[in-house]
Structure 1
Amino acid sequence: MDELYNRQLQEKLLAIYKTLLTMGANKEDAEDVVQETAIQFIQYIDGISPNEASAWLYKVAIHKYYDLLKKSRSQHKYLISFRLEDLLELHTPETIIMQQELQQEIVTQLSSLSDKEAQLILLKYSADLSLKDIATLFGTTDKTIKTQLARAKSKLKQRLQEVYNGGKINF
């Protein structure tokens, strides 16, 4: 593999690592899954289309993470988390407290969605995957993913608005 391809692969594996953390994996488990995914990618590199490499990496990593979760039955549902402060650049004490409260509420509401709905939202908005990559990951079309994502986003928005007494929340 050439230098550019190596760098791109490292960047993609780092993004997958962050996605796994977002899905609730602890640091060690995320590192293990990324390492196993990288090894498997190298083993099967000749059979993977360059256009589908990113989706292939995500699909394998997520499946490996789910396998890990199945092995540790003590966790019934993975914790969905992300850092809202990474998305916003407001740093007054009031906004930090409000952001923390909103972040906790988003985590709570994401956890109340189905696993697939939460995954779609996280893959699109946290991992920044394209609809095409997400569709490849789920073995469907990007139109189907667009529809499912819109429904999941609408459901999340509705639940957040209910919590905030009908206040306007823009996504």
Structure 2
Amino acid sequence: MSNLTSLDLTFPMLEYGKTETPWDLAPLLYSGGAGAKVKTVRSEITSGVLGDLLLERAELVKELHDCLTDDLVGGGSRFSAHNKIGALRRFFQWVDQCERPLSIDTVAEEYLGWAEHLLQRHRVEGYQTASSLYDVASLTATILDRVLGRSSTLLYSTRIRKPRGKGKASNGGADKQSLEESFSFGLNRP
């Protein structure tokens, strides 16, 4: 087991409820850590169930932690940070399931593979709504873009696009017009 004391990936600036498990990105440093239960993952790490710390991930996870910490300290929303962590956990979980190497050098390529996987599952299996798919891909890309210092988002390199909505004025059914009514209107005109 590797020693985690030198790398603090928690968020001590947040207040937690009595039964709430404090946030920690350390599980992302272990294969299977992202998919483990939040309440038990720390004991799985210390007991060696998740294996050794993946050193190649350390720089990436530290940078992700720094971005999230900067957001929170700068007045960013706890809700937004929680959603970003959830999206990152899903991404890391996929990487672990595929047994792909992940580092700051490979994260962009792995993100593109994950985005394609999500899109394929959405189209073939109906997994997630188009909106949910876009949200998770966008959240993950946003934080990875910051870590990588990108000027254009990774999301634009995927085939995932923001779903088009009808806007607030539409109620769905009101836009539909009967073809028969249209013809009869045209026929009844002088």
TM-score (norm 2): 0.30
Higher gyration radius (CA): 2
TM-score (norm 1): 0.32
Higher helix content, 1 or 2: 1
Return the structure number with greater relative CO, CA threshold 8 A, min gap 6.
1
